Structure 1
Amino acid sequence: MNEKLTVFNEEEQPMGVKSREDIHRDGDWHETFQCWFYELNKEGIFVYFQKRAEDKKEFPGLYDITAAGHIEAGEGVVMAGLREIEEEIGINVSSSELIAAGTFKQDLSDGNLKDREICRVFLYAWDGRRGFYIGEEVADVIKVELYSFKDLVNGEVRSVPFKSVLTENSSILSIDHLVPHERAYYQFIIKAITENVEKL
Protein backbone atom coordinates (compact mmCIF):
# COMPACT_ATOMS: atom_id res chain seq x y z
CA MET A 1 0.00 0.00 0.00
CA ASN A 2 1.40 3.38 -1.02
CA GLU A 3 1.43 5.82 1.88
CA LYS A 4 -0.17 9.24 1.49
CA LEU A 5 2.05 12.02 2.82
CA THR A 6 1.68 15.75 3.25
CA VAL A 7 3.73 17.84 0.84
CA PHE A 8 5.43 21.01 2.16
CA ASN A 9 7.04 24.03 0.52
CA GLU A 10 10.47 25.44 1.40
CA GLU A 11 8.95 27.36 4.33
CA GLU A 12 7.52 24.08 5.72
CA GLN A 13 3.94 25.09 4.95
CA PRO A 14 1.64 22.21 3.94
CA MET A 15 0.72 22.26 0.26
CA GLY A 16 -1.39 19.13 -0.20
CA VAL A 17 -1.20 15.34 -0.15
CA LYS A 18 0.58 12.94 -2.51
CA SER A 19 1.66 9.32 -2.54
CA ARG A 20 5.08 8.50 -1.10
CA GLU A 21 6.14 7.10 -4.47
CA ASP A 22 5.22 10.32 -6.28
CA ILE A 23 6.88 12.47 -3.63
CA HIS A 24 10.17 10.58 -3.98
CA ARG A 25 9.91 10.82 -7.75
CA ASP A 26 9.19 14.56 -7.77
CA GLY A 27 11.45 15.61 -4.92
CA ASP A 28 8.76 17.18 -2.73
CA TRP A 29 9.51 18.17 0.86
CA HIS A 30 7.81 15.89 3.39
CA GLU A 31 8.07 15.09 7.11
CA THR A 32 9.83 12.20 8.77
CA PHE A 33 10.07 11.18 12.41
CA GLN A 34 13.57 10.20 13.54
CA CYS A 35 14.52 8.89 16.95
CA TRP A 36 18.10 8.26 17.98
CA PHE A 37 18.62 6.03 21.01
CA TYR A 38 21.67 6.78 23.11
CA GLU A 39 23.04 5.22 26.28
CA LEU A 40 25.19 6.73 29.00
CA ASN A 41 27.02 4.16 31.12
CA LYS A 42 30.33 3.76 32.94
CA GLU A 43 32.08 2.99 29.65
CA GLY A 44 30.95 6.15 27.89
CA ILE A 45 28.18 7.45 25.64
CA PHE A 46 26.87 5.13 22.95
CA VAL A 47 24.61 5.80 19.99
CA TYR A 48 22.38 3.10 18.51
CA PHE A 49 21.86 2.31 14.82
CA GLN A 50 19.54 -0.08 13.07
CA LYS A 51 20.79 -2.12 10.12
CA ARG A 52 18.28 -1.87 7.31
CA ALA A 53 17.06 -5.19 5.93
CA GLU A 54 18.66 -6.39 2.71
CA ASP A 55 15.33 -6.33 0.88
CA LYS A 56 14.63 -2.66 1.59
CA LYS A 57 14.08 -0.63 -1.57
CA GLU A 58 16.14 2.29 -0.29
CA PHE A 59 19.64 1.85 1.15
CA PRO A 60 19.41 -1.91 1.84
CA GLY A 61 21.87 -3.32 4.36
CA LEU A 62 23.15 0.06 5.53
CA TYR A 63 23.17 1.39 9.10
CA ASP A 64 20.71 4.16 9.90
CA ILE A 65 18.72 6.00 12.58
CA THR A 66 17.66 3.78 15.49
CA ALA A 67 14.00 4.13 14.49
CA ALA A 68 12.44 6.37 11.87
CA GLY A 69 9.64 6.65 9.38
CA HIS A 70 7.43 8.85 7.27
CA ILE A 71 4.59 10.76 8.88
CA GLU A 72 1.37 9.98 7.05
CA ALA A 73 -1.06 12.72 6.08
CA GLY A 74 -3.18 13.72 9.07
CA GLU A 75 -0.97 11.82 11.52
CA GLY A 76 0.71 13.53 14.48
CA VAL A 77 4.50 13.51 14.57
CA VAL A 78 4.85 11.89 17.99
CA MET A 79 2.10 9.32 17.48
CA ALA A 80 3.67 8.34 14.16
CA GLY A 81 7.03 8.07 15.87
CA LEU A 82 5.87 5.88 18.72
CA ARG A 83 4.31 3.55 16.14
CA GLU A 84 7.53 3.38 14.12
CA ILE A 85 9.66 2.64 17.20
CA GLU A 86 7.46 -0.27 18.20
CA GLU A 87 7.16 -1.63 14.65
CA GLU A 88 10.86 -1.45 13.85
CA ILE A 89 12.63 -2.38 17.08
CA GLY A 90 9.87 -3.62 19.39
CA ILE A 91 10.25 -0.98 22.10
CA ASN A 92 7.17 0.62 23.65
CA VAL A 93 8.09 4.23 24.43
CA SER A 94 5.83 6.88 25.95
CA SER A 95 5.64 10.37 24.47
CA SER A 96 6.97 11.87 27.71
CA GLU A 97 10.21 9.90 27.28
CA LEU A 98 11.02 11.40 23.90
CA ILE A 99 13.43 14.33 23.89
CA ALA A 100 12.77 16.82 21.09
CA ALA A 101 16.07 17.69 19.39
CA GLY A 102 14.77 19.99 16.65
CA THR A 103 14.31 19.91 12.90
CA PHE A 104 16.88 19.24 10.19
CA LYS A 105 16.09 19.59 6.48
CA GLN A 106 18.08 17.31 4.23
CA ASP A 107 18.19 15.99 0.69
CA LEU A 108 18.89 12.27 0.39
CA SER A 109 18.63 12.21 -3.40
CA ASP A 110 20.34 9.20 -4.96
CA GLY A 111 19.75 8.19 -8.56
CA ASN A 112 16.01 8.22 -9.21
CA LEU A 113 15.30 8.80 -5.51
CA LYS A 114 14.67 12.44 -4.60
CA ASP A 115 14.07 12.19 -0.87
CA ARG A 116 13.80 15.72 0.51
CA GLU A 117 12.99 15.35 4.19
CA ILE A 118 11.93 17.70 6.95
CA CYS A 119 13.36 15.59 9.75
CA ARG A 120 11.65 15.90 13.13
CA VAL A 121 14.43 14.62 15.35
CA PHE A 122 14.04 13.10 18.80
CA LEU A 123 16.35 11.39 21.27
CA TYR A 124 15.63 8.58 23.68
CA ALA A 125 17.82 7.76 26.68
CA TRP A 126 18.15 3.99 26.55
CA ASP A 127 18.71 2.16 29.83
CA GLY A 128 19.46 -1.24 28.32
CA ARG A 129 17.02 -3.03 30.60
CA ARG A 130 14.73 -4.31 27.85
CA GLY A 131 15.48 -6.29 24.72
CA PHE A 132 15.02 -5.17 21.15
CA TYR A 133 12.54 -7.16 19.06
CA ILE A 134 13.21 -6.20 15.47
CA GLY A 135 10.57 -6.09 12.76
CA GLU A 136 10.99 -7.34 9.21
CA GLU A 137 12.47 -4.03 8.01
CA VAL A 138 15.44 -4.29 10.40
CA ALA A 139 18.32 -6.78 10.30
CA ASP A 140 20.25 -5.78 13.44
CA VAL A 141 20.73 -3.10 16.10
CA ILE A 142 24.26 -1.97 16.96
CA LYS A 143 25.87 0.54 19.29
CA VAL A 144 28.88 2.75 18.66
CA GLU A 145 30.79 4.94 21.10
CA LEU A 146 29.67 8.50 20.37
CA TYR A 147 33.04 10.25 20.17
CA SER A 148 34.48 7.48 18.00
CA PHE A 149 31.51 8.03 15.70
CA LYS A 150 32.23 11.76 15.73
CA ASP A 151 35.80 11.05 14.56
CA LEU A 152 34.41 8.84 11.78
CA VAL A 153 31.98 11.51 10.61
CA ASN A 154 34.68 14.18 10.65
CA GLY A 155 37.05 12.00 8.62
CA GLU A 156 39.62 11.66 11.40
CA VAL A 157 39.45 7.84 11.30
CA ARG A 158 38.44 5.40 8.56
CA SER A 159 36.54 2.96 10.77
CA VAL A 160 35.33 2.42 14.33
CA PRO A 161 34.35 -0.68 16.31
CA PHE A 162 30.75 -1.54 17.02
CA LYS A 163 28.84 -4.22 18.88
CA SER A 164 25.55 -5.83 17.96
CA VAL A 165 23.11 -5.60 20.84
CA LEU A 166 21.22 -8.60 19.46
CA THR A 167 24.08 -11.07 18.99
CA GLU A 168 26.86 -9.34 21.00
CA ASN A 169 29.14 -9.83 17.98
CA SER A 170 31.67 -7.08 17.32
CA SER A 171 32.83 -5.68 13.99
CA ILE A 172 34.04 -2.54 12.25
CA LEU A 173 31.94 0.32 10.90
CA SER A 174 33.12 2.59 8.09
CA ILE A 175 31.41 5.62 6.57
CA ASP A 176 30.44 3.50 3.56
CA HIS A 177 28.32 1.29 5.83
CA LEU A 178 26.08 4.23 6.77
CA VAL A 179 23.05 5.63 4.99
CA PRO A 180 24.55 8.69 3.22
CA HIS A 181 23.03 11.42 5.33
CA GLU A 182 24.80 14.76 5.02
CA ARG A 183 27.81 15.18 7.29
CA ALA A 184 26.06 18.20 8.81
CA TYR A 185 23.13 15.96 9.74
CA TYR A 186 25.32 13.53 11.65
CA GLN A 187 27.08 16.45 13.34
CA PHE A 188 23.64 17.79 14.32
CA ILE A 189 22.81 14.44 15.98
CA ILE A 190 26.15 14.19 17.79
CA LYS A 191 25.78 17.75 19.11
CA ALA A 192 22.20 17.08 20.27
CA ILE A 193 23.19 13.94 22.18
CA THR A 194 26.25 15.61 23.70
CA GLU A 195 24.25 18.61 24.89
CA ASN A 196 21.56 16.40 26.34
CA VAL A 197 24.08 14.31 28.29
CA GLU A 198 25.70 17.47 29.64
CA LYS A 199 22.35 18.46 31.17
CA LEU A 200 22.21 15.27 33.26
Structure 2
Amino acid sequence: MSQELFDIYDDNDRKMGTAPRDEVHAKGYLHHSFHCWIARDTPEGRKILFQKRQDSKDTFPGRYDITAAGHLSAGETVQDAVREVEEELGIPVRMDQLTSLGTIDYYATGTAGGKPFIDREKCFVFGYLLNLPLTAYRLQEEEVAGLYETDLDDAIALFEGSKSVIPAMGIHSITENRVPQIFDTTLSLQQFVPHKSDDYLHVFKELKKL
Protein backbone atom coordinates (compact mmCIF):
# COMPACT_ATOMS: atom_id res chain seq x y z
CA MET A 1 0.00 0.00 0.00
CA SER A 2 1.39 3.40 -0.97
CA GLN A 3 2.20 5.83 1.80
CA GLU A 4 0.41 9.11 2.36
CA LEU A 5 2.34 12.06 0.91
CA PHE A 6 2.79 15.38 2.72
CA ASP A 7 3.79 18.76 1.35
CA ILE A 8 7.08 19.78 3.02
CA TYR A 9 8.38 23.28 3.71
CA ASP A 10 11.62 25.14 4.45
CA ASP A 11 12.24 27.17 7.62
CA ASN A 12 10.48 30.16 6.01
CA ASP A 13 7.39 28.02 5.34
CA ARG A 14 8.01 27.95 1.59
CA LYS A 15 6.95 24.70 -0.07
CA MET A 16 9.89 22.53 -1.14
CA GLY A 17 8.02 19.51 -2.53
CA THR A 18 6.41 16.36 -1.17
CA ALA A 19 7.63 13.34 0.79
CA PRO A 20 6.12 10.11 2.20
CA ARG A 21 4.86 10.20 5.79
CA ASP A 22 7.60 7.89 7.14
CA GLU A 23 10.36 10.00 5.57
CA VAL A 24 8.81 13.23 6.86
CA HIS A 25 8.87 11.92 10.43
CA ALA A 26 12.25 10.21 10.09
CA LYS A 27 14.04 13.30 8.74
CA GLY A 28 12.04 15.96 10.54
CA TYR A 29 10.72 17.82 7.50
CA LEU A 30 8.43 20.75 8.32
CA HIS A 31 4.82 20.00 7.36
CA HIS A 32 1.35 21.38 8.11
CA SER A 33 -1.38 20.05 10.39
CA PHE A 34 -4.96 20.83 11.39
CA HIS A 35 -6.09 20.94 15.05
CA CYS A 36 -9.70 21.18 16.21
CA TRP A 37 -10.42 21.55 19.93
CA ILE A 38 -14.02 20.87 20.97
CA ALA A 39 -15.63 22.27 24.11
CA ARG A 40 -19.21 22.05 25.38
CA ASP A 41 -21.33 23.74 28.02
CA THR A 42 -23.02 21.73 30.78
CA PRO A 43 -24.88 22.73 33.97
CA GLU A 44 -21.58 22.10 35.79
CA GLY A 45 -19.61 24.43 33.50
CA ARG A 46 -17.64 24.31 30.28
CA LYS A 47 -15.96 21.02 29.38
CA ILE A 48 -13.07 20.24 27.02
CA LEU A 49 -12.67 17.03 25.03
CA PHE A 50 -9.45 15.09 24.47
CA GLN A 51 -8.87 12.07 22.30
CA LYS A 52 -6.62 9.18 23.28
CA ARG A 53 -4.36 8.15 20.42
CA GLN A 54 -4.36 4.51 19.34
CA ASP A 55 -1.37 2.40 20.36
CA SER A 56 -0.59 1.88 16.66
CA LYS A 57 0.11 5.59 15.98
CA ASP A 58 3.57 6.44 14.58
CA THR A 59 4.01 9.37 16.98
CA PHE A 60 3.08 9.38 20.70
CA PRO A 61 0.91 6.24 20.74
CA GLY A 62 -1.53 5.95 23.63
CA ARG A 63 -1.22 9.60 24.70
CA TYR A 64 -4.01 12.11 25.25
CA ASP A 65 -4.19 14.75 22.54
CA ILE A 66 -6.23 17.33 20.63
CA THR A 67 -9.93 16.47 20.18
CA ALA A 68 -9.43 15.92 16.44
CA ALA A 69 -6.32 16.57 14.38
CA GLY A 70 -4.42 15.43 11.34
CA HIS A 71 -1.70 16.19 8.85
CA LEU A 72 -2.52 17.95 5.61
CA SER A 73 -1.97 15.51 2.75
CA ALA A 74 -0.12 16.76 -0.34
CA GLY A 75 -2.19 19.36 -2.15
CA GLU A 76 -4.68 19.82 0.69
CA THR A 77 -5.63 23.18 2.17
CA VAL A 78 -6.53 23.83 5.79
CA GLN A 79 -10.16 24.07 4.64
CA ASP A 80 -9.91 20.55 3.20
CA ALA A 81 -8.53 19.22 6.49
CA VAL A 82 -11.76 19.90 8.38
CA ARG A 83 -12.63 16.38 7.15
CA GLU A 84 -10.51 15.09 10.07
CA VAL A 85 -13.27 15.88 12.57
CA GLU A 86 -15.84 13.67 10.85
CA GLU A 87 -13.29 10.95 10.07
CA GLU A 88 -12.07 10.68 13.67
CA LEU A 89 -15.21 11.56 15.66
CA GLY A 90 -18.11 10.81 13.31
CA ILE A 91 -19.44 14.39 13.48
CA PRO A 92 -19.82 16.38 10.23
CA VAL A 93 -18.35 19.88 10.58
CA ARG A 94 -18.00 22.87 8.25
CA MET A 95 -15.05 25.22 8.40
CA ASP A 96 -17.38 28.21 8.93
CA GLN A 97 -18.50 26.63 12.23
CA LEU A 98 -14.96 26.80 13.62
CA THR A 99 -13.13 29.70 15.27
CA SER A 100 -9.49 30.22 14.35
CA LEU A 101 -7.16 30.17 17.37
CA GLY A 102 -4.07 30.99 15.29
CA THR A 103 -1.05 28.85 14.47
CA ILE A 104 1.46 27.00 16.64
CA ASP A 105 5.00 25.95 15.68
CA TYR A 106 5.49 22.45 17.03
CA TYR A 107 8.63 20.34 17.43
CA ALA A 108 8.98 16.99 19.19
CA THR A 109 11.12 13.87 19.09
CA GLY A 110 10.55 10.39 20.39
CA THR A 111 10.26 6.71 19.54
CA ALA A 112 7.19 4.78 18.40
CA GLY A 113 7.11 1.13 17.39
CA GLY A 114 10.88 0.98 17.85
CA LYS A 115 11.47 3.79 15.32
CA PRO A 116 12.76 7.24 16.27
CA PHE A 117 10.80 10.19 14.92
CA ILE A 118 11.22 13.96 14.56
CA ASP A 119 7.91 15.80 14.27
CA ARG A 120 8.07 19.41 12.99
CA GLU A 121 4.71 20.99 12.24
CA LYS A 122 3.04 24.30 11.61
CA CYS A 123 -0.34 23.71 13.24
CA PHE A 124 -3.49 25.57 12.19
CA VAL A 125 -5.60 25.60 15.36
CA PHE A 126 -9.38 25.96 15.65
CA GLY A 127 -11.97 25.85 18.41
CA TYR A 128 -15.54 24.55 18.24
CA LEU A 129 -18.28 24.89 20.86
CA LEU A 130 -20.46 21.82 20.29
CA ASN A 131 -22.97 20.81 22.93
CA LEU A 132 -23.05 17.05 22.36
CA PRO A 133 -22.58 14.30 24.98
CA LEU A 134 -19.72 11.84 24.64
CA THR A 135 -22.09 9.08 23.55
CA ALA A 136 -23.03 11.07 20.40
CA TYR A 137 -19.55 10.55 18.92
CA ARG A 138 -18.57 7.58 16.75
CA LEU A 139 -14.83 7.12 17.00
CA GLN A 140 -12.50 5.95 14.23
CA GLU A 141 -11.05 2.79 15.75
CA GLU A 142 -7.88 2.86 13.62
CA GLU A 143 -6.88 6.30 14.92
CA VAL A 144 -8.71 7.00 18.18
CA ALA A 145 -8.64 4.75 21.25
CA GLY A 146 -11.08 6.84 23.27
CA LEU A 147 -12.63 10.24 23.88
CA TYR A 148 -12.53 12.00 27.24
CA GLU A 149 -13.97 15.17 28.72
CA THR A 150 -13.03 17.17 31.78
CA ASP A 151 -13.76 20.61 33.20
CA LEU A 152 -11.96 23.28 31.19
CA ASP A 153 -10.88 25.00 34.39
CA ASP A 154 -9.42 21.70 35.67
CA ALA A 155 -7.48 21.31 32.42
CA ILE A 156 -6.05 24.80 32.89
CA ALA A 157 -5.11 23.98 36.49
CA LEU A 158 -3.38 20.77 35.35
CA PHE A 159 -1.17 22.55 32.81
CA GLU A 160 -0.50 25.48 35.15
CA GLY A 161 0.75 22.95 37.70
CA SER A 162 -1.76 23.67 40.48
CA LYS A 163 -3.28 20.17 40.14
CA SER A 164 -1.40 16.91 39.50
CA VAL A 165 -4.43 14.87 38.42
CA ILE A 166 -7.94 15.82 37.33
CA PRO A 167 -11.18 13.80 37.05
CA ALA A 168 -12.57 12.97 33.63
CA MET A 169 -15.20 10.85 31.90
CA GLY A 170 -14.46 8.76 28.83
CA ILE A 171 -15.66 6.32 26.20
CA HIS A 172 -13.66 3.66 24.34
CA SER A 173 -13.72 3.40 20.55
CA ILE A 174 -14.12 -0.39 20.64
CA THR A 175 -17.21 -1.28 22.66
CA GLU A 176 -19.45 -4.25 23.29
CA ASN A 177 -22.47 -4.23 20.95
CA ARG A 178 -21.13 -0.97 19.44
CA VAL A 179 -22.76 0.98 22.30
CA PRO A 180 -20.36 3.39 24.06
CA GLN A 181 -20.34 3.18 27.85
CA ILE A 182 -19.20 6.20 29.85
CA PHE A 183 -16.65 5.53 32.61
CA ASP A 184 -14.83 7.68 35.17
CA THR A 185 -11.06 8.11 35.11
CA THR A 186 -8.32 10.62 35.91
CA LEU A 187 -5.83 12.47 33.71
CA SER A 188 -2.27 13.47 34.54
CA LEU A 189 0.18 15.68 32.69
CA GLN A 190 2.50 12.80 31.85
CA GLN A 191 -0.26 11.10 29.81
CA PHE A 192 -0.51 13.92 27.25
CA VAL A 193 1.36 14.47 24.00
CA PRO A 194 4.20 16.83 25.06
CA HIS A 195 3.11 20.00 23.29
CA LYS A 196 4.41 23.05 25.17
CA SER A 197 2.34 23.79 28.26
CA ASP A 198 2.07 27.41 27.11
CA ASP A 199 0.54 26.23 23.82
CA TYR A 200 -2.04 24.09 25.63
CA LEU A 201 -2.85 26.96 27.99
CA HIS A 202 -3.23 29.47 25.15
CA VAL A 203 -5.79 27.18 23.51
CA PHE A 204 -7.65 26.43 26.74
CA LYS A 205 -7.98 30.10 27.64
CA GLU A 206 -9.19 30.93 24.14
CA LEU A 207 -11.81 28.15 24.44
CA LYS A 208 -13.18 29.90 27.53
CA LYS A 209 -14.03 32.88 25.28
CA LEU A 210 -16.04 30.95 22.67
Fold conserved (TM > 0.5)? Answer: yes
Confirm or deny that 1:164 pairs with 2:164.
Answer: no
Distance in 2 (CA, whole Å) between partners of 1:13 and 1:97 is 29
Please give the per-residue CA displacement for 1:9-55, whole angstroms capped at 9, x wherever unaligned. 22222122111111111111110001000112321111101111222
Confirm or deny that 1:174 pairs with 2:188.
Answer: yes
Maintained 8 Å contact 1:51/1:140: yes
Distance in 1 (CA, whole Å) between partners of 2:11 and 2:45 is 39
* Alignment-derived partner of residue 154 in structure 1: 160
Runs of 4+ deviating beyond 6 Å: none
Distance in 2 (CA, whole Å) between partners of 1:122 and 1:143 is 18
Counterparts of residues 4-153 of structure 1 (less than 5 Å): 4-81=5-82, 83-111=83-111, 112-128=116-132, 131-136=136-141, 137-153=143-159
Distance in 2 (CA, whole Å) between partners of 1:7 and 1:55 is 24
Please give the per-residue CA displacement for 1:107-141, whole angstroms capped at 9, x wherever unaligned. 02224210011000011111116810011211111
Paired residue type of 1:127: N
Secondary structure of the structure 1 residue equivalent to 2:132:
coil
Paired residue type of 1:109: T
Q: CA deviation at 1:58?
A: 2.2
Q: CA deviation at 1:188?
A: 1.9
Distance in 2 (CA, whole Å) between partners of 1:87 and 1:68 is 10
Distance in 1 (CA, whole Å) between partners of 2:16 and 2:81 is 20
| TM-score relative to the length of structure 1 | 0.91
Deviates more, 1:26-35 or 1:163-172: 163-172
How many residue pairs get aligned? The number is: 195
Which runs of no fewer than 5 residues in structure 1 stay unpaired? none
Distance in 1 (CA, whole Å) between partners of 2:161 and 2:79 is 34
Paired residue type of 1:20: R
